[in-house]
Amino acid sequence: MLKDGKGEMFFPGEDWRVERKKKTHALNQEYNSLTEYQPEKRKEILREILGELNENVVCQGPVTFHYGIHTKIGKNTFINFNFTCQDDCEVTIGENCDFGPNVTIVTPIHPLLPNERRALMCPDGVGRRLCYAKSVHVEDNCWICAGVTILPGVTIGKGCVIGAGSVVTKDIPPFSFAAGNPCRVIRAITEADSMVNMPEILGDCKVIEE
């Protein structure tokens, strides 16, 4: 029928979509009812929610996934409290990423005109409330700080840091520090940012050589 994930209209009320969302929403509630003393049960539920879950992923909870099956999370990624992922189409989160609390990822987009939001005519001659969606990608080794919102169609390049409270509306190139609403690149992240150059903070600790 109508395609999603490539900027084409689809009907969120299709039977399979409604059933998948109900199942995922129930699994969200089950996950959020568990404590950190139940890591294996939490992992089991995340595997049922997500399209792909790699090793050593931690989601503090509460979490809210919309479909879940459209989301893939790479290994060694940490996601702090109150993570929301409205994954009407593909969302990929890379390896070794860190997410602060209250991060939101959204993929769906609705028409701007109110009458078109209410209904558009489908190929079968029936008017339905339609939307479209664009994929979101967070590449490896990113730090997404507290309160960030990532909007549809955005790719955040590897090694980026996105400052707290930012609203990311467009792609961010790799190894950038970006912040603001709308989010913009402030500067590149370089070796000058190493903790080696902050001895007053590093104290008796040492940087591990790669």
pLDDT tens sequence across 37-64 = 999 999 999 999 999 999 999 999 999 9
The CA-atom distances, in angstroms, between 152 and each of 6, 105, 126, 127, 169 are 11, 8, 27, 25, 8
Q: Pick the catalytic residue from 25, 66, 110, 137.
A: 110
- CA–CA distance, 18 with 4 (Å, rounded to integer): 15
CATH number at residue 34: 2.160.10.10
Strands 155-156 and 136-138: what pairing? Answer: parallel
**Best CA proximity match to 12, nearest among 103, 129, 96:** 129
The answer to whether position 133 is within a domain reads: yes
Could you give the number of structural domains in the chain? 1
The answer to whether position 118 is within a domain reads: yes
pLDDT at 177 over 70: yes
The answer to whether position 172 is within a domain reads: yes
Q: Give residue 67's pLDDT band: very low, low, confident or very high (50, 70, 90).
A: very high
The answer to whether position 22 is within a domain reads: yes
Please tell me whether residue 177 adopts helix, strand or coil conformation: strand
The answer to whether position 8 is within a domain reads: no
pLDDT at 12 over 60: yes
Averaged pLDDT for residues 18-37: 97
The answer to whether position 163 is within a domain reads: yes
Instruction: Give CA angle at 74 (35, 175), nearest 5°.
Output: 115
Strands 155-156 and 78-79: what pairing? Answer: unpaired
The answer to whether position 1 is within a domain reads: no
Q: What φ, ψ does residue 21 adopt, rounded to 5°?
A: -65, -40
Quick check: is 25 catalytic?
no
Domain that holds residue 191: 15-202
Averaged pLDDT score across all residues of the chain: 95
The answer to whether position 21 is within a domain reads: yes
H or E stretch including 43? helix 39-49
Q: Give residue 5's pLDDT band: very low, low, confident or very high (50, 70, 90).
A: low
Per cent of the chain over pLDDT 70 is 97
